[in-house]
């Protein structure tokens, strides 16, 4: 795939299928393992509790899904859903190495813009690095609102362009000098070049709050983390 500004849903699906073999390694290396802290924050902010039925949409290789499963316990259910089958295969393989087994996780290939669930189905939801990649953010938020029960929450973790010019310059240096060369070593140059245009078009935290309210959520709060390079949008139905 050549580097470009506008990506279709098919393009994005292909990217995430291709990066599946190196996805976990790059996440760990490039965040120095800190991504696990951010993901646990999202699970905590989702309000998931023991016995709940929960959704982790755009689950990728299943890190947040696993954390959510541990949060709800054996009496709960967690569905890890993604539109990239190669990512789901990785996620399913990873949990076979976990003891005791997380038998209450279900894996499902699904589109975040057309969720195959009934209205008012889930007690809580999470989304990690997915909202930035959907082709229709408003539609995605409307679908999440539809499938959540009244008063339930979704916590959405993602990369952002920081508001601080200094931090933004650091972020761009990090992408150019660390991320892309690392991806190049693994044969994924074009796939990770996608990060820049996806960040440039992603709404700011305050804009995400407005989009959440417009989608029908009663409350919306955006929490900047990592000096604004990351953020968690928490929406309450």
Domain limits for position 211? 9-236
Instruction: Establish if 2 belongs to a structural domain.
Output: no
Instruction: Establish if 87 belongs to a structural domain.
Output: yes
Local confidence band at 192 (pLDDT 50, 70, 90 cut-offs): confident
Please tell me the total number of residues recorded for the chain in this structure: 237
Instruction: Establish if 179 belongs to a structural domain.
Output: yes
Instruction: Establish if 80 belongs to a structural domain.
Output: yes
Q: For the chain, what is the mean pLDDT?
A: 89
> Per-residue pLDDT tens for 2-53?
333 466 778 777 777 777 677 777 777 666 678 899 999 999 999 999 999 9
The CATH code of the domain that includes 55 is 3.40.50.150
Query: How many Å apart are CA 165 and CA 159, to the nearest integer?
Result: 16
Query: How many Å apart are CA 206 and CA 222, to the nearest integer?
Result: 7
**Total domains, the chain:** 1
* CA 186-82-227 angle, 5° bins: 65
> Per-residue pLDDT tens for 143-176?
999 999 999 999 999 999 999 999 999 989 988 8
pLDDT for the residue numbered 180: 80
Instruction: Establish if 67 belongs to a structural domain.
Output: yes
Number of H helices, E strands in the chain: 11, 7
> Per-residue pLDDT tens for 74-99?
999 999 999 999 999 999 998 888 87
* CA 100-68-117 angle, 5° bins: 115
Instruction: Establish if 158 belongs to a structural domain.
Output: yes
Q: Is 152 helix (H, G, I), strand (E, B) or coil?
A: strand
Beta carbons of 68 and 78 less than 8 angstroms apart: yes
Task: Give Cβ neighbours of residue 17 (< 8 Å, ≥ 6 apart).
Answer: 84, 85, 86, 87
Instruction: Establish if 228 belongs to a structural domain.
Output: yes
């Amino acid at each position: 795939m050549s580097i470009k500004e506008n990506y279709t849903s098919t393009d994005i699906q292909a990217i995430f299928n291709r990066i599946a073999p190196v996805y976990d390694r790059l996440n760990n290396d490039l965040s120095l393992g800190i991504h696990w802290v951010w993901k646990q924050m999202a699970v905590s902010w989702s309000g998931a509790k023991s016995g709940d039925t929960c959704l982790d949409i755009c689950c990728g290789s299943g890190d947040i899904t696993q954390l959510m499963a541990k949060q709800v316990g054996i009496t709960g259910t967690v569905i890890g859903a993604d539109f990239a089958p190669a990512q789901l295969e990785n996620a399913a393989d990873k949990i076979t190495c976990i003891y005791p087994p997380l038998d209450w996780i279900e894996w499902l290939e699904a589109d975040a813009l057309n969720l195959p669930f009934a209205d008012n189905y889930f007690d809580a939801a999470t989304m990690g690095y997915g909202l930035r990649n959907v082709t229709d953010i408003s539609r995605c938020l409307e679908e999440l609102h539809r499938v959540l029960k009244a008063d339930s929450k979704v916590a959405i973790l993602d990369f952002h362009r920081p508001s601080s010019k200094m931090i933004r310059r650091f972020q761009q240096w990090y992408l150019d000098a660390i991320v892309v060369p690392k991806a190049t070593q693994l044969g994924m140059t074009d796939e990770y070049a996608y990060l820049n245009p996806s960040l440039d078009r992603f709404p700011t935290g305050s804009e995400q709050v407005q989009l959440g309210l417009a989608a029908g959520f009663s409350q919306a709060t955006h929490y900047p983390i990592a000096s604004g390079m990351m953020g968690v949008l928490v929406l309450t139905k």
